[in-house]
Protein backbone atom coordinates (compact mmCIF):
# COMPACT_ATOMS: atom_id res chain seq x y z
CA UNK A 1 0.00 0.00 0.00
CA UNK A 2 1.21 3.55 -0.76
CA UNK A 3 2.46 5.48 2.29
CA UNK A 4 1.66 9.16 1.69
CA UNK A 5 2.91 10.33 5.11
CA UNK A 6 4.82 8.65 7.93
CA UNK A 7 6.55 9.64 11.17
CA UNK A 8 10.08 8.28 11.36
CA UNK A 9 12.44 9.03 14.28
CA UNK A 10 11.31 12.58 14.89
CA UNK A 11 10.88 13.40 11.19
CA UNK A 12 7.93 13.45 8.79
CA UNK A 13 8.39 11.67 5.47
CA UNK A 14 5.73 12.54 2.90
CA UNK A 15 4.99 11.93 -0.74
CA UNK A 16 4.80 15.19 -2.70
CA UNK A 17 1.45 14.70 -4.41
CA UNK A 18 1.91 17.71 -6.70
CA UNK A 19 4.64 15.77 -8.55
CA UNK A 20 2.55 12.66 -9.25
CA UNK A 21 2.24 10.81 -11.52
CA UNK A 22 5.43 11.92 -13.30
CA UNK A 23 7.65 11.64 -10.23
CA UNK A 24 7.30 9.72 -6.97
CA UNK A 25 9.25 12.04 -4.69
CA UNK A 26 9.32 11.63 -0.91
CA UNK A 27 10.41 14.57 1.23
CA UNK A 28 11.69 14.45 4.79
CA UNK A 29 11.46 17.29 7.26
CA UNK A 30 11.80 18.26 10.91
CA UNK A 31 10.25 21.68 10.24
CA UNK A 32 6.53 22.20 10.90
CA UNK A 33 6.59 25.17 8.48
CA UNK A 34 7.40 22.77 5.63
CA UNK A 35 4.34 20.72 6.64
CA UNK A 36 2.12 23.81 6.81
CA UNK A 37 3.32 24.87 3.36
CA UNK A 38 2.94 21.27 2.11
CA UNK A 39 -0.70 21.27 3.19
CA UNK A 40 -1.37 24.72 1.71
CA UNK A 41 0.12 23.78 -1.65
CA UNK A 42 -1.51 20.30 -1.77
CA UNK A 43 1.70 18.29 -1.52
CA UNK A 44 -0.16 16.76 1.43
CA UNK A 45 -3.86 16.69 0.64
CA UNK A 46 -7.22 14.94 1.11
CA UNK A 47 -9.24 15.63 4.25
CA UNK A 48 -8.05 12.79 6.56
CA UNK A 49 -4.40 13.09 5.46
CA UNK A 50 -4.46 16.84 6.13
CA UNK A 51 -5.55 15.99 9.70
CA UNK A 52 -2.80 13.39 10.12
CA UNK A 53 -0.17 15.73 8.61
CA UNK A 54 -1.20 18.59 10.90
CA UNK A 55 -1.09 16.32 13.98
CA UNK A 56 2.49 15.24 13.23
CA UNK A 57 3.32 18.81 12.14
CA UNK A 58 2.40 19.94 15.64
CA UNK A 59 4.79 17.29 17.03
CA UNK A 60 7.59 18.84 14.96
CA UNK A 61 6.76 22.25 16.42
CA UNK A 62 6.81 20.82 19.96
CA UNK A 63 10.22 19.20 19.29
CA UNK A 64 11.62 22.47 17.97
CA UNK A 65 10.67 24.41 21.11
CA UNK A 66 11.29 21.63 23.61
CA UNK A 67 14.27 23.37 25.22
CA UNK A 68 12.43 26.63 25.93
CA UNK A 69 11.09 27.28 29.42
CA UNK A 70 7.55 26.02 29.91
CA UNK A 71 5.78 29.35 29.44
CA UNK A 72 7.54 30.17 26.13
CA UNK A 73 6.98 26.54 25.07
CA UNK A 74 3.22 27.10 25.66
CA UNK A 75 3.31 30.38 23.69
CA UNK A 76 5.11 28.70 20.79
CA UNK A 77 2.62 25.82 20.77
CA UNK A 78 -0.19 28.35 20.26
CA UNK A 79 1.69 29.84 17.35
CA UNK A 80 2.45 26.44 15.70
CA UNK A 81 -1.20 25.44 16.15
CA UNK A 82 -2.38 28.73 14.57
CA UNK A 83 0.00 28.34 11.61
CA UNK A 84 -1.25 24.83 10.88
CA UNK A 85 -4.91 25.87 11.27
CA UNK A 86 -4.48 28.68 8.73
CA UNK A 87 -3.43 26.35 5.89
CA UNK A 88 -6.83 25.26 4.47
CA UNK A 89 -10.33 26.18 5.67
CA UNK A 90 -12.74 23.54 4.35
CA UNK A 91 -11.67 20.05 5.50
CA UNK A 92 -12.85 19.83 9.09
CA UNK A 93 -10.38 16.97 9.77
CA UNK A 94 -7.62 19.59 10.09
CA UNK A 95 -9.41 21.26 13.00
CA UNK A 96 -10.60 17.95 14.46
CA UNK A 97 -7.03 16.63 14.61
CA UNK A 98 -5.56 19.87 15.98
CA UNK A 99 -8.33 20.10 18.61
CA UNK A 100 -7.45 16.57 19.74
CA UNK A 101 -3.76 17.48 19.89
CA UNK A 102 -4.52 20.73 21.72
CA UNK A 103 -6.25 18.86 24.54
CA UNK A 104 -2.98 16.94 25.06
CA UNK A 105 -0.59 19.90 25.17
CA UNK A 106 -2.94 22.14 27.14
CA UNK A 107 -3.48 19.42 29.72
CA UNK A 108 0.28 18.78 29.92
CA UNK A 109 0.92 22.49 30.53
CA UNK A 110 -1.87 22.71 33.11
CA UNK A 111 -0.42 19.73 34.98
CA UNK A 112 3.10 21.17 34.87
CA UNK A 113 4.53 18.29 32.79
CA UNK A 114 7.93 18.87 31.19
CA UNK A 115 8.03 19.84 27.51
CA UNK A 116 9.75 16.50 26.78
CA UNK A 117 6.84 14.65 28.39
CA UNK A 118 4.34 16.74 26.42
CA UNK A 119 6.24 15.99 23.16
CA UNK A 120 6.11 12.29 23.92
CA UNK A 121 2.34 12.39 24.57
CA UNK A 122 1.76 14.41 21.39
CA UNK A 123 3.53 11.81 19.24
CA UNK A 124 1.45 9.12 20.91
CA UNK A 125 -1.73 11.08 20.13
CA UNK A 126 -0.73 11.62 16.48
CA UNK A 127 -0.03 7.88 16.19
CA UNK A 128 -3.43 7.14 17.70
CA UNK A 129 -5.13 9.47 15.18
CA UNK A 130 -3.28 7.78 12.29
CA UNK A 131 -4.18 4.29 13.50
CA UNK A 132 -7.76 5.33 14.05
CA UNK A 133 -8.08 6.69 10.50
CA UNK A 134 -6.59 3.46 9.13
CA UNK A 135 -9.12 1.28 10.99
CA UNK A 136 -12.01 3.60 10.19
CA UNK A 137 -11.13 3.52 6.48
CA UNK A 138 -11.16 -0.25 6.55
CA UNK A 139 -14.64 -0.29 8.16
CA UNK A 140 -16.00 2.28 5.69
CA UNK A 141 -14.61 0.21 2.81
CA UNK A 142 -16.20 -2.97 4.11
CA UNK A 143 -19.63 -1.40 4.75
CA UNK A 144 -19.65 0.48 1.46
CA UNK A 145 -18.62 -2.50 -0.68
CA UNK A 146 -21.99 -4.10 0.10
CA UNK A 147 -23.63 -1.34 -1.95
CA UNK A 148 -21.74 -2.29 -5.11
CA UNK A 149 -22.91 -5.10 -7.39
CA UNK A 150 -21.07 -7.41 -9.73
CA UNK A 151 -20.51 -5.61 -13.04
CA UNK A 152 -21.11 -2.05 -11.73
CA UNK A 153 -19.47 0.96 -13.29
CA UNK A 154 -18.70 3.44 -10.52
CA UNK A 155 -18.03 7.10 -11.17
CA UNK A 156 -15.81 8.94 -8.69
CA UNK A 157 -14.56 12.51 -8.43
CA UNK A 158 -11.27 13.91 -7.15
CA UNK A 159 -9.21 11.49 -5.04
CA UNK A 160 -10.57 9.84 -1.91
CA UNK A 161 -8.15 6.94 -1.66
CA UNK A 162 -4.94 5.95 0.10
CA UNK A 163 -3.25 9.16 -1.02
CA UNK A 164 -5.95 11.24 0.65
CA UNK A 165 -6.22 9.22 3.84
CA UNK A 166 -3.48 6.68 4.40
CA UNK A 167 -4.83 3.14 4.58
CA UNK A 168 -7.71 1.98 2.39
CA UNK A 169 -9.13 5.38 1.62
CA UNK A 170 -12.86 6.13 1.65
CA UNK A 171 -14.56 6.22 -1.78
CA UNK A 172 -11.70 4.25 -3.37
CA UNK A 173 -11.57 1.96 -0.33
CA UNK A 174 -15.19 0.97 -0.99
CA UNK A 175 -14.34 0.10 -4.60
CA UNK A 176 -11.09 -1.68 -3.71
CA UNK A 177 -12.84 -3.76 -1.04
CA UNK A 178 -15.58 -4.82 -3.47
CA UNK A 179 -12.96 -5.91 -6.03
CA UNK A 180 -10.19 -7.36 -3.87
CA UNK A 181 -12.08 -8.74 -0.85
CA UNK A 182 -15.38 -9.66 -2.50
CA UNK A 183 -14.17 -10.57 -6.00
CA UNK A 184 -16.69 -8.32 -7.73
CA UNK A 185 -15.90 -7.03 -11.20
CA UNK A 186 -16.13 -3.25 -11.04
CA UNK A 187 -15.10 -0.64 -13.59
CA UNK A 188 -14.22 2.84 -12.42
CA UNK A 189 -14.77 6.08 -14.30
CA UNK A 190 -12.52 8.74 -12.76
CA UNK A 191 -13.38 12.40 -13.38
CA UNK A 192 -10.14 14.17 -14.22
CA UNK A 193 -11.06 16.90 -11.65
CA UNK A 194 -9.97 20.28 -12.92
CA UNK A 195 -8.22 22.48 -12.06
CA UNK A 196 -5.59 20.40 -10.23
CA UNK A 197 -6.38 17.01 -11.82
CA UNK A 198 -6.54 14.92 -8.65
CA UNK A 199 -8.66 12.41 -10.59
CA UNK A 200 -6.38 11.82 -13.55
CA UNK A 201 -3.10 12.32 -11.68
CA UNK A 202 -3.87 10.61 -8.37
CA UNK A 203 -6.98 8.40 -8.57
CA UNK A 204 -5.86 6.76 -11.81
CA UNK A 205 -2.34 6.34 -10.37
CA UNK A 206 -3.69 4.71 -7.22
CA UNK A 207 -6.17 2.42 -8.92
CA UNK A 208 -3.60 1.27 -11.46
CA UNK A 209 -1.35 0.51 -8.49
CA UNK A 210 -4.06 -1.82 -7.11
CA UNK A 211 -4.78 -3.27 -10.59
CA UNK A 212 -8.28 -1.87 -10.93
CA UNK A 213 -9.97 -1.20 -14.27
CA UNK A 214 -10.08 2.60 -14.46
CA UNK A 215 -10.88 4.99 -17.29
CA UNK A 216 -10.34 8.73 -16.97
CA UNK A 217 -13.05 11.04 -18.28
CA UNK A 218 -13.10 14.83 -18.54
CA UNK A 219 -15.36 16.43 -15.93
CA UNK A 220 -17.89 17.48 -18.55
CA UNK A 221 -18.40 13.90 -19.85
CA UNK A 222 -20.26 12.52 -16.81
CA UNK A 223 -23.75 13.50 -18.06
CA UNK A 224 -23.09 11.86 -21.43
CA UNK A 225 -22.24 8.52 -19.82
CA UNK A 226 -25.11 8.74 -17.33
CA UNK A 227 -27.61 9.41 -20.13
CA UNK A 228 -26.35 6.28 -21.90
CA UNK A 229 -26.94 4.17 -18.78
CA UNK A 230 -23.20 3.60 -18.41
CA UNK A 231 -22.88 4.72 -14.78
CA UNK A 232 -24.33 2.41 -12.11
CA UNK A 233 -23.34 4.42 -9.02
CA UNK A 234 -21.46 7.52 -7.96
CA UNK A 235 -19.17 7.25 -4.90
CA UNK A 236 -17.23 10.26 -3.60
CA UNK A 237 -15.45 11.34 -0.41
CA UNK A 238 -16.02 14.54 1.56
CA UNK A 239 -14.17 17.32 3.33
CA UNK A 240 -16.95 18.35 5.69
CA UNK A 241 -20.42 17.00 6.43
CA UNK A 242 -23.01 18.93 8.44
CA UNK A 243 -25.61 17.62 10.89
CA UNK A 244 -28.25 17.77 8.14
CA UNK A 245 -26.04 15.69 5.86
CA UNK A 246 -24.99 18.46 3.47
CA UNK A 247 -21.58 17.62 2.06
CA UNK A 248 -18.64 19.79 1.00
CA UNK A 249 -16.38 18.00 -1.44
CA UNK A 250 -14.16 18.88 -4.39
CA UNK A 251 -15.67 21.42 -6.78
CA UNK A 252 -17.82 19.61 -9.34
CA UNK A 253 -19.33 17.14 -6.85
CA UNK A 254 -22.59 19.13 -6.66
CA UNK A 255 -23.02 19.06 -10.47
CA UNK A 256 -22.47 15.29 -10.42
CA UNK A 257 -25.10 14.87 -7.69
CA UNK A 258 -27.65 16.87 -9.70
CA UNK A 259 -26.91 14.76 -12.78
CA UNK A 260 -27.13 11.53 -10.77
CA UNK A 261 -30.48 12.58 -9.29
CA UNK A 262 -31.87 13.43 -12.77
CA UNK A 263 -30.76 10.04 -14.08
CA UNK A 264 -31.88 8.18 -10.91
CA UNK A 265 -28.37 6.91 -10.19
CA UNK A 266 -27.50 6.27 -6.50
CA UNK A 267 -25.14 8.90 -5.11
CA UNK A 268 -23.02 7.77 -2.15
CA UNK A 269 -20.64 9.70 0.07
CA UNK A 270 -17.99 7.69 1.96
CA UNK A 271 -16.71 9.57 4.96
CA UNK A 272 -15.11 9.07 8.40
CA UNK A 273 -16.89 10.70 11.34
CA UNK A 274 -13.78 12.89 11.72
CA UNK A 275 -15.13 14.70 8.62
CA UNK A 276 -18.49 15.41 10.26
CA UNK A 277 -18.76 18.89 11.73
CA UNK A 278 -21.11 18.30 14.65
CA UNK A 279 -21.21 22.05 15.31
CA UNK A 280 -22.67 22.95 11.90
CA UNK A 281 -26.30 22.45 10.90
CA UNK A 282 -26.31 23.42 7.25
CA UNK A 283 -24.03 23.37 4.23
CA UNK A 284 -24.36 27.11 3.61
CA UNK A 285 -22.19 27.70 6.70
CA UNK A 286 -19.25 25.61 5.48
CA UNK A 287 -16.25 27.83 4.66
CA UNK A 288 -15.31 27.29 1.02
CA UNK A 289 -11.67 27.71 0.11
CA UNK A 290 -10.99 30.10 -2.77
CA UNK A 291 -7.63 29.31 -4.35
CA UNK A 292 -5.32 31.25 -6.64
CA UNK A 293 -6.58 32.17 -10.11
CA UNK A 294 -3.43 30.81 -11.72
CA UNK A 295 -4.47 27.22 -10.90
CA UNK A 296 -7.25 27.69 -13.48
CA UNK A 297 -5.29 29.84 -15.92
CA UNK A 298 -2.16 27.68 -16.04
CA UNK A 299 -1.34 24.02 -16.47
CA UNK A 300 2.12 22.79 -15.44
CA UNK A 301 3.27 26.41 -15.30
CA UNK A 302 2.11 27.22 -18.88
CA UNK A 303 -0.69 29.65 -19.73
CA UNK A 304 -3.84 28.02 -21.09
CA UNK A 305 -5.81 31.28 -21.25
CA UNK A 306 -5.09 34.64 -22.86
CA UNK A 307 -2.53 36.79 -21.04
CA UNK A 308 -4.39 38.98 -18.53
CA UNK A 309 -7.48 36.73 -18.35
CA UNK A 310 -9.08 36.47 -14.90
CA UNK A 311 -10.56 33.36 -13.28
CA UNK A 312 -12.60 32.12 -10.31
CA UNK A 313 -11.34 29.17 -8.33
CA UNK A 314 -13.52 27.83 -5.51
CA UNK A 315 -11.91 24.53 -4.45
CA UNK A 316 -15.09 22.93 -3.06
CA UNK A 317 -18.86 23.00 -3.43
CA UNK A 318 -21.71 21.83 -1.23
CA UNK A 319 -24.06 19.02 -2.19
CA UNK A 320 -27.39 19.34 -0.37
CA UNK A 321 -28.47 16.28 1.61
CA UNK A 322 -31.56 15.83 -0.58
CA UNK A 323 -29.33 14.69 -3.46
CA UNK A 324 -27.49 12.06 -1.39
CA UNK A 325 -28.71 8.45 -1.34
CA UNK A 326 -26.60 7.34 1.63
CA UNK A 327 -23.55 8.33 3.67
CA UNK A 328 -21.12 5.47 4.36
CA UNK A 329 -19.33 5.82 7.72
CA UNK A 330 -17.36 3.59 10.06
CA UNK A 331 -20.57 3.17 12.06
CA UNK A 332 -22.40 1.78 9.03
CA UNK A 333 -24.50 3.11 6.16
CA UNK A 334 -26.60 6.13 7.09
CA UNK A 335 -29.74 6.76 5.06
CA UNK A 336 -32.03 9.83 5.15
CA UNK A 337 -33.09 11.51 7.32
CA UNK A 338 -29.39 12.03 8.07
CA UNK A 339 -29.96 14.63 10.80
CA UNK A 340 -31.59 12.07 13.12
CA UNK A 341 -28.55 9.78 13.01
CA UNK A 342 -25.97 12.58 13.21
CA UNK A 343 -27.84 14.17 16.10
CA UNK A 344 -27.81 10.82 17.91
CA UNK A 345 -24.07 10.39 17.25
CA UNK A 346 -23.46 13.96 18.47
CA UNK A 347 -25.34 13.31 21.72
CA UNK A 348 -23.23 10.20 22.32
Show the DSSP H helices in the chain as ranges. 32-40, 47-64, 70-85, 92-110, 115-145, 162-165, 171-180, 204-209, 222-227, 253-262, 294-297, 338-347
Q: So which residues are the catalytic ones?
A: 239
What is the rounded CA–CA span in Å between residue 133 and residue 52?
Answer: 9
How near is the Cβ of 130 to ligand MRU at its closest, in Å?
14
What is the rounded CA–CA span in Å between residue 193 and residue 200?
Answer: 7
Would you say 248 and 317 are in contact if contact means Cβ atoms under 8 Å apart? yes
How near is the Cβ of 146 to ligand MRU at its closest, in Å?
19
What is the rounded CA–CA span in Å between residue 253 and residue 234?
Answer: 10
How near is the Cβ of 271 to ligand MRU at its closest, in Å?
7
Of 5, 12, 14, 46, the one binding ligand MRU by CB under 6 A: 46
Nearer to ligand MRU, 63 or 176 (CB): 176
Nearer to ligand MRU, 59 or 163 (CB): 163
Contact call for residue 48 and ligand MRU (CB under 6 A): yes
How near is the Cβ of 170 to ligand MRU at its closest, in Å?
4
Contact call for residue 61 and ligand MRU (CB under 6 A): no
Would you say 140 and 273 are in contact if contact means Cβ atoms under 8 Å apart? no
Phi then psi for 248, rounded to 5 degrees?
Answer: -90, 125
Nearer to ligand MRU, 41 or 303 (CB): 41
Would you say 200 and 206 are in contact if contact means Cβ atoms under 8 Å apart? no
Phi then psi for 291, rounded to 5 degrees?
Answer: -100, 175
Contact call for residue 160 and ligand MRU (CB under 6 A): yes
Would you say 295 and 195 are in contact if contact means Cβ atoms under 8 Å apart? yes
Residue ranges in 277-296 that form contacts with ligand MRU under rule CB under 6 A: none
What is the rounded CA–CA span in Å between residue 339 and residue 164?
Answer: 26
Q: Which of 42, 41, 44, 48 is nearest to 12 (CA)?
A: 44
Of 57, 237, 252, 283, the one binding ligand MRU by CB under 6 A: 237
How near is the Cβ of 198 to ligand MRU at its closest, in Å?
5
How near is the Cβ of 95 to ligand MRU at its closest, in Å?
14
Contact call for residue 163 and ligand MRU (CB under 6 A): no
Residue ranges in 94-153 that form contacts with ligand MRU under rule CB under 6 A: none
Would you say 95 and 85 are in contact if contact means Cβ atoms under 8 Å apart? yes
Bridge pairing between strands 153-156 and 233-236: parallel
Contact call for residue 60 and ligand MRU (CB under 6 A): no
Contact call for residue 246 and ligand MRU (CB under 6 A): no
Contact call for residue 164 and ligand MRU (CB under 6 A): yes
Q: How many residues bind ligand MRU (CB under 6 A)?
A: 18
Torsion over CA of 137, 139, 140 and 146, rounded to 10 degrees?
140
Task: Provide the 10 A C-beta neighbour count for residue 309.
Answer: 11
Contact call for residue 45 and ligand MRU (CB under 6 A): yes
315-334 footprint of ligand MRU as x/- string (CB under 6 A): x-------------------
Contact call for residue 240 and ligand MRU (CB under 6 A): no
Of 63, 170, 187, 274, the one binding ligand MRU by CB under 6 A: 170
Would you say 29 and 5 are in contact if contact means Cβ atoms under 8 Å apart? no
How near is the Cβ of 210 to ligand MRU at its closest, in Å?
16
Residue ranges in 179-208 that form contacts with ligand MRU under rule CB under 6 A: 198
Q: Closest residue (Cβ) to ligand MRU? A: 237
Site residues for ligand MRU per CB under 6 A: 42, 45-48, 91, 158, 160, 164-165, 170, 198, 237-239, 249-250, 315
Amino acid sequence: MLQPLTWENGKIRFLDQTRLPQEEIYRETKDYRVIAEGIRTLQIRGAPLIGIGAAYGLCLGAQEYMNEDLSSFGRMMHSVDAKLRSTRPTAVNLFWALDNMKKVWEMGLAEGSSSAEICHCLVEKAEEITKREYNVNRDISRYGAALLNEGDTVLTHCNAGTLACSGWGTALGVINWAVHEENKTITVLADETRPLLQGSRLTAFELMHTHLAVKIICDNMAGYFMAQGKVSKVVVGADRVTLQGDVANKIGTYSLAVLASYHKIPFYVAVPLSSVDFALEEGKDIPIEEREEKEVLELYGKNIAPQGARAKNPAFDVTPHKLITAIITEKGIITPPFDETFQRLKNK
